[in-house]
């Protein structure tokens, strides 16, 4: 019988190239990834199949969740600064240059304007603790006194036009379990100011759910 000769092949593959590519990609993704900012109000958005992205600019996000708490966030530092100036003038609260600068770094907030100074004075990590921010007052019954959400919406629209010379878009980010009337209240608020078109922030799911 003839001997079957096993050819002696190398058992290990040269992984150098693969390693190179992998690390190249890794570097790319790390650099392009944007760090996710911690949110003061965690909400679980409902899912939809619609695949359109939120705009990056000229956007204000109204977050509703945690039993009728409303938080407000504006994109763009300059717009934030201008909004705070206008709000301060409206409510007769003087904000210092430092406070305005610090406020422009806050993505999202949910305190009455009277408590905004304390919030600005806090450290960033303390701001997002549970229970620190009680939400923006948005009582529609006592409309003129206690509806600060309306004023935030109004002044930020004004600020956006002043700064960017463009209309501000609105997105509603509601918690999936939030009751419909609470969402409707915010929608009504927008509609009162003739904002009839806005985005609903959702997660993504397949069509066959």
- The reply to whether 22 sits near other proteins by the rule CB under 8 A is yes
Nearest distance from C-beta of residue 207 to other proteins, angstroms: 6
Nearest distance from C-beta of residue 56 to other proteins, angstroms: 9
| Nearest CA-CA partner of 188 in 147, 156, 158 | 147
Under rule CB under 8 A, which residues in 38-77 are in contact with other proteins?
Answer: 45-54, 64
- Distant-in-sequence contacts of 141-146, Cβ < 8 A, 24+ apart: none
Nearest distance from C-beta of residue 135 to other proteins, angstroms: 16
Which residues in 114-123 are b (16+ Cβ under 10 Å) and which e?
A: eebbebbeee
* Closest CB to other proteins among residues 14, 142: 14
Residue 131: which residues within 8 A CB-CB, separation 6 or more?
none
Residue 197: which residues within 8 A CB-CB, separation 6 or more?
none
- The reply to whether 33 sits near other proteins by the rule CB under 8 A is yes
Round to whole Å and give the CA distance between 156 and 142: 22
User: CB–CB of 66/41 below 8 Å?
Assistant: yes
Q: Which of 93, 132, 163, 183 binds other proteins (CB under 8 A)?
A: 183
Q: Which stretch in 89-97, 115-123, 131-139, 201-209 sits in contact with other proteins by CB under 8 A?
A: 201-209
Q: Which of 2, 3, 5, 32 binds other proteins (CB under 8 A)?
A: 32
Round to whole Å and give the CA distance between 98 and 114: 17
Q: Could you identify the residue written with the tokens 């209309």?
A: 167
Q: Which stretch in 89-97, 126-134, 135-143, 172-180 sits in contact with other proteins by CB under 8 A?
A: 172-180
Q: Which of 25, 89, 105, 121 binds other proteins (CB under 8 A)?
A: 25
Torsional class of 67: left (φ above 0), alpha (ψ -120 to 50), beta (otherwise) = left
Nearest distance from C-beta of residue 177 to other proteins, angstroms: 6
* Residues in touch with other proteins (CB under 8 A): 12, 14-16, 18-19, 22-23, 25-26, 29-30, 32-34, 36, 45-54, 64, 171, 173-184, 187, 191-192, 194, 196-204, 207-209
């Amino acid at each position: 019988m003839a001997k079957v000769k096993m050819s002696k092949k190398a058992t290990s593959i040269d992984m150098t190239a693969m390693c190179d590519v992998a690390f190249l990609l890794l570097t790319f993704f790390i650099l392009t990834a944007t760090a996710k900012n911690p949110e003061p109000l965690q909400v679980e958005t409902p899912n939809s199949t619609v695949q359109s992205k939120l705009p990056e600019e000229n956007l204000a996000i109204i977050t509703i969740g945690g039993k009728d708490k409303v938080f407000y966030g504006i994109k763009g530092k300059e717009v934030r600064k201008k909004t705070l100036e206008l709000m301060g003038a409206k409510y007769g609260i003087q904000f210092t240059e430092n406070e305005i600068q610090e406020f422009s770094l806050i993505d999202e907030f949910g305190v009455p304007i009277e408590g905004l100074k304390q919030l600005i004075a806090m450290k960033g990590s303390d701001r997002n603790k549970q229970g620190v921010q009680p939400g923006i007052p948005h009582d529609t019954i006592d409309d003129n006194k206690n509806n600060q959400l309306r004023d935030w919406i109004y002044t930020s629209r004004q600020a956006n036009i002043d700064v960017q010379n463009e209309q501000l878009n609105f997105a509603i980010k509601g918690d999936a379990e939030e009751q419909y009337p609470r969402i409707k209240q915010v929608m009504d608020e927008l509609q009162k100011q003739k904002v009839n078109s806005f985005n609903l922030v959702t997660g993504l799911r397949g069509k066959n759910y």
